[in-house]
Structure 1
Amino acid sequence: MTGRQACLRLLDRCVLAKDTHGSTIRLAPPLIIEADQLDRMCDQVGEVLTPDAD
């Protein structure tokens, strides 16, 4: 999967990310993010990056 494909899948899950070089993605959560929001983002990234993700 390319970084762009991962970013598009994350966007479908309401997580904003930027593709950079090939398979690299950049995440930039706000400095004032709550723990539950960070957990949700990490869960979504994990689901997108698993080989059998939608």
Structure 2
Amino acid sequence: MKNVAFTSEAFKENNEWFETNKKWLIWIKLLIRELTMTAFKGMGKPKPLRDD
């Protein structure tokens, strides 16, 4: 599993969501977990970035 680093602003917003809207916080944590564990097999149809 990869490490995820938050900026101070993102950490502050994360705490605000915890206090106001736990549904969004759960969704965001689920997305982050999926991205770190299975970047190209998660929800939706994720694709790697391509060179232009």
TM-score by length of 2: 0.44
Which structure is higher in helix share?
Answer: 2
Which structure is higher in strand share?
Answer: 1
